[in-house]
Amino acid sequence: MRRYLIPTLLVVLVLTSGILAGCGQASSTSSLKTYTNYAYGYSIRHPSSWKVDESGETVLIYRSFNAYISIGTLGGQQLTAEDLEWLVENMVEELRIGTDDFLLISKRQLYDMDTPALEITYTGKTNEGLSFKAKCRCIIYRDRLYVVTIVSPGAEIPSEILAALNSFSFQ
Which residue range(s) make up the domain with 75?
A: 2-170
Q: How far apart are CA 38 and CA 21, in angstroms?
A: 29
Whole-number average pLDDT of the chain: 82
Q: Which of 169, 168, 52, 65 is nearest to 126 (CA)?
A: 65
* Domain at 142, CATH number: 3.40.1000.10
* H, E, C per residue of the chain: CHHHHHHHHHHHHHHHHHHHCCCCCCCCCCCEEEEEECCCCEEEEEECCCEEECCCCCEEEECCCCCEEEEEEEECCCCCHHHHHHHHHHHHHHHHHHCEEEEEEEEEECCCCCCCEEEEEEEEECCCCCEEEEEEEEEEECCEEEEEEEEEECCCCCHHHHHHHHHCEEC
Question: CA of 105: how far to CAs of 35, 120, 142, 146, in Å?
Answer: 29, 7, 29, 21
Q: How many domains does the chain have?
A: 1
Q: How far apart are CA 128 and CA 9, in angstroms?
A: 25
| Amino acid residing at 90 | N
Average pLDDT value for residue range 57-84: 84
Residue 12, pLDDT above cutoff 60 = no
Q: What is the pLDDT of residue 30?
A: 58
Reported pTM: 0.83
Output 25 or 132, whichever has higher pLDDT. Answer: 132
Residue 60, pLDDT above cutoff 80 = yes
Instruction: Note the pLDDT tens digit of each residue in 23-37.
Output: 333 344 458 899 999
Q: How far apart are CA 105 and CA 152, in angstroms?
A: 15
Q: How far apart are CA 28 and CA 19, in angstroms?
A: 20
Q: How confident is the model at residue 64 (pLDDT cuts 50, 70, 90)?
A: low
Instruction: Note the pLDDT tens digit of each residue in 80-123.
Output: 889 999 999 999 999 999 999 999 999 999 987 778 999 999 99
Residue 171, pLDDT above cutoff 60 = yes
Q: Which residues contact 97 (CB under 8 A, 6 or more apart)?
A: none
